[in-house]
Amino acid sequence: MRFSFIFIIGFLMLAPAYAMAQQPPSAAPDASGGLPDRIVRPMRAIDPMTLKAEGANIRLWGIKPARTSETPLELKALDLMDALIHEQQVNCKIVGGAFPDLVGRCATQNNEDLALALLENGFVVVDRQQTYNSVFATGYEKAQEAARLKTRGVWRYVNDTETDASATPKWLKPYLDWLLPLSLIVGPFGGLLIVALMMRAGLKRLADRQAEEAEQAGRKETAMQTRERQVLASTLEGELLENKNKVEAFVTIYGDLLHTLKTPVETPKYQQGGDIVQKSPVFSKTVFEANVNRLSLLDIKVAGLISKLYTSLPSTPEYITIEPHVPLETAQKLVEKIVHEAEAMIAPLDEAAHALQAAGQKAA
């Protein structure tokens, strides 16, 4: 029954994907300002309910967080998401939100519903306000009930709390067999001694619990910083590789122009009515500018390298007009200089991208 339901959900979510197979995925709104119908691309989980895609954050539809102080459920949920996605494409049907924060139903490349997987493991609970009167409501409720019956995730601690609330506290059980007789024999002084012992045991237990919670909080904070460092390094690396592709395309175009000027078979275009050439490629800086205040998450050497590189990249393109009267040799030297300067940008972009890749692997 469960497999049939998962198959139906996968079919409903991924049927439109075939029509998009020959087009690059996009998370941008359409020209009318509306939301995209579907986003298919590699994504990374940044919390138990949110995926990070280039240009957008996608919150999973139909679920809400399950919170407890007993265990770092968020970290276990993130590990599950990473294992399911496995650095492959995720297919998200967008159902709401506003750019860049969207809401969608998302499935892995193997057609596994991410929200359903989180519910089955007890890392989240059903958001009934969203699922009410939808075709997914029954399946999501069944997945949550199965996790509760198997005491997975948060349900383990919910069940433990219910049991403890109706039973004698664990710290008191060792004293029950002899507490009452001893109190009757020893009298008030013995009773006071016993109370003091119980208080001591209770305070020790409380101190141990506080120490354990502090340790868990420290581990959780360290893990979250590590994950943030990985996400930052990954997104910056992607932008640098995009800029490298732009430089290589620029070099190809102007290399062809230079070849045409050096071996003309007809009158060069600029001699017929002038021509305009671009001094450098148009670089993307959106990711860097949005995360400049978070570069401290990276190693100081890597952060300095990235800052220096982005500072050296032109912010706006500059253009040069070649008039018809300009000698052919002068035009050749001008275009040759543009090509050489663009080629010189490739090595720094590669160096920065490799440094970010190493930083991400080190954080992992």
Residue 157, pLDDT score = 75
Helix (H) or strand (E) holding 221: helix 188-262
Judge whether residue 4 has pLDDT over 60.
no
Q: Which of 53-57, 72-76, 247-251 has the highest mean pLDDT?
A: 247-251
Confidence of residue 23 (pLDDT cuts 50, 70, 90): very low
- What percent of the chain clears pLDDT 90, i.e. is strictly above it? 17
**What mean pLDDT is predicted for residues 269-281?**
87
Least confident range from 213-227, 272-286, 293-307: namely: 213-227
337 Cβ partners below 8 Å, 6+ apart?
none
Q: Flag whether pLDDT at 166 surpasses 60.
A: no
Residue 187: pLDDT over 90: no
Q: For residue 103, what pLDDT is reported?
A: 92
**319-324-328 Cα angle (round to 5):** 90
Q: Which pLDDT value is given to residue 80?
A: 82
Whether the pLDDT of residue 18 is over 60: the answer is no
For residue 242, is pLDDT > 70? yes
Bigger pLDDT: 66 vs 298: 298
Mean pLDDT of the chain: 80
- Neighbouring CB atoms inside 10 A of 250's CB total 19
Six token digits for residue 220: 């959780």
What is the Cα–Cα distance from 92 to 15, expressed in whole angstroms?
Answer: 12
Other Cβ atoms less than 10 A from the Cβ of 364: the count is: 11
Angle, helices 73-85 vs 188-262, to 10°: value is: 30
State which amino acid sits at residue 86: H
**% of residues, the chain, pLDDT over 70:** 80
Q: Among 84-93, 328-337, 340-349, which stretch is predicted with the lowest mean pLDDT?
A: 84-93
Q: Confidence band (pLDDT; 50, 70, 90) for 161?
A: low
CB-based contacts of 125, cutoff 8 Å, min separation 6: 63, 64, 65, 66, 119, 144, 154
Q: pLDDT tens across 189-199, in order?
A: 766 778 888 88
- Residue 17 Cα distances to 10, 31, 107, 347, angstroms: 11, 21, 12, 37
Q: Give the side-chain half-sphere CA count within 13 A for 3.
A: 0
Helix axes 154-166 and 137-149, enclosed angle (nearest 10): 60
What pLDDT, on the 0 to 100 scale, is given for residue 159? 65
Give 126-191 as a DSSP string: E-HHHHTTSTTHHHHHHHHHHHHHTT-THHHHHHHHHHHHHS--GGGHHHHHHHHHHHHHH-HHHH
**In this predicted structure, what is the pLDDT of residue 26?**
41
Q: Give the phi and the psi of residue 298 in degrees, each rounded to 5.
A: -90, 165
- Average pLDDT for residues 273-292, to the nearest whole number? 89
Phi, psi of 113 (to 5 degrees): -65, 120
Cβ partners under 8 Å of residue 340, min gap 6: none
Residue 177 has a pLDDT of: 60
Tell me how far apart the alpha carbons of residues 96 and 206 are, in angstroms, rounded to a whole number: 45
